[in-house]
Chain A
Amino acid sequence: MSDIVASNETIVVVGGGISGMTSALEAAECGKQVILIEKNPSLGGRVAQLYRYFPKMCHPTCGMEINLRRAKHNRNLRILTMAEVTEVTGEAGDYSLKVALKPRFINENCTACGECEKVVEAEFDDEFNYGMSKRKGAYLPYNMAYPQRYVIDERIIGTEDAGKAKDACKYDAIDLDMQVEEIELKAGAIIWATGWQPYDAGKIQPYGYDRYENVITNVEFERMADPQGPTDGRLIRPSDGREARKVAFIQCAGSRDRNHLRHCSRICCMSSLKQTHYVREAYPEDGMVDVYYIDMRTIDRLEDFYKKVQDDEKVAFIKSKVASITKDKGDNPVLHGVDTEGGKRYETPYDMVVLATGMQPSVNRDAFPIDIVINQDGFIEPDEKNGAIFASGSAADALDVNRSVQHATAAALRAIQVVNKAAGIGV
Chain B
Amino acid sequence: MSTNTAMVEKYRNNFLKEVETNVEEGEWVKMCMQCGVCAGSCPLGNAWEHPPQEIFMMIRAGKREDVLTSDSMWMCTSCYSCIVRCPRELPITHIMHGLAHYAKRLGIQPKNNPTQWFSEVFWNNMMRKGRVNELRLGLSLYFRNGFLSGIRESLKNAGLGRNLMKAKRMSPMEFFGGHGVKDASGLQKIINKAQELEAARIERHGK
Chain A positions within 8 Å of B, measured between CB atoms, are 206, 252, 256-259, 294, 319-324, 336-340, 343, 345
Question: Which of B34, B35, B45, B84 counts the most A-chain CB atoms under 10 A from its CB?
Answer: B35
Q: Confirm or deny: B87 has a beta carbon within 8 angstroms of a beta carbon on chain A.
A: yes
CB <8 Å contact, A259 and B41 = no
CB <8 Å contact, A294 and B39 = no
CB <8 Å contact, B53 and A340 = yes
Cross-chain contact of B36 among A257, A258, A324, A337 (Cβ < 8 A): A337
* Docked CA distance A321–B38 (Å): 9
* Docked CA distance A343–B35 (Å): 11
| Pairs across A and B, CB under 8 Å, 17 listed | A256-B33, A256-B87, A258-B87, A258-B89, A259-B89, A321-B35, A323-B37, A323-B40, A323-B85, A337-B36, A337-B37, A338-B40, A343-B50, A343-B51, A345-B40, A345-B45, A345-B46
Question: Which of A294, A319, A340 counts the most B-chain CB atoms under 10 A from its CB?
Answer: A340
Instruction: Enumerate chain A residues within 8 angstroms of B84, measured Cβ to Cβ.
Output: 259
| Chain A interface mostly | loop
Question: Which of B34, B36, B54 counts the most A-chain CB atoms under 10 A from its CB?
Answer: B36
Instruction: Identify the closest chain B residue to A258 (Cβ).
Output: B89
Question: Which of A206, A259, A338 counts the most B-chain CB atoms under 10 A from its CB?
Answer: A338
Instruction: Identify the closest chain B residue to A260 (Cβ).
Output: B87
**Distance of B183 from chain A, by nearest CB (Å):** 42
Question: Which of B33, B34, B40, B46 counts the most A-chain CB atoms under 10 A from its CB?
Answer: B40
CB <8 Å contact, B41 and A343 = no
**Distance of A300 from chain B, by nearest CB (Å):** 22
Q: Which bucket holds chain B's interface residue count? A: 10 to 19
6 closest cross-chain pairs (CB), A and B: A323-B40, A337-B40, A321-B35, A257-B87, A338-B39, A340-B36
CB <8 Å contact, A294 and B40 = no
CB <8 Å contact, A259 and B87 = yes
Instruction: Enumerate chain B residues within 8 angstroms of A252, measured Cβ to Cβ.
Output: 35, 87
**Hey, what's the 0/1 contact readout for B55-89 against A, CB within 8 Å counting as 1?**
00000000000000000000000000000110111
With A336-B40, A338-B45, A343-B54: A320-B87 Cβ-Cβ less than 8 Å: no
Instruction: Enumerate chain B residues within 8 angstroms of A257, measured Cβ to Cβ.
Output: 87
Instruction: Enumerate chain A residues within 8 angstroms of B53, measured Cβ to Cβ.
Output: 338, 340
* Docked CA distance A258–B53 (Å): 17
Instruction: Enumerate chain B residues within 8 angstroms of A343, measured Cβ to Cβ.
Output: 39, 50-51, 54
With A258-B88, A323-B40: A294-B51 Cβ-Cβ less than 8 Å: no
**Distance of B99 from chain A, by nearest CB (Å):** 18
* Docked CA distance A117–B191 (Å): 78
Beyond known contacts A294-B33, A338-B53: 10 more, CB 8 A cutoff: A206-B41, A257-B87, A294-B35, A319-B36, A321-B35, A321-B36, A322-B40, A323-B36, A336-B40, A337-B37
**Distance of A204 from chain B, by nearest CB (Å):** 10
**Distance of B78 from chain A, by nearest CB (Å):** 18
* Docked CA distance A320–B37 (Å): 7
Instruction: Identify the closest chain B residue to A256 (Cβ).
Output: B87
Instruction: Enumerate chain A residues within 8 angstroms of B35, measured Cβ to Cβ.
Output: 252, 294, 320-321, 340
* Docked CA distance A160–B104 (Å): 78
* Docked CA distance A340–B56 (Å): 12
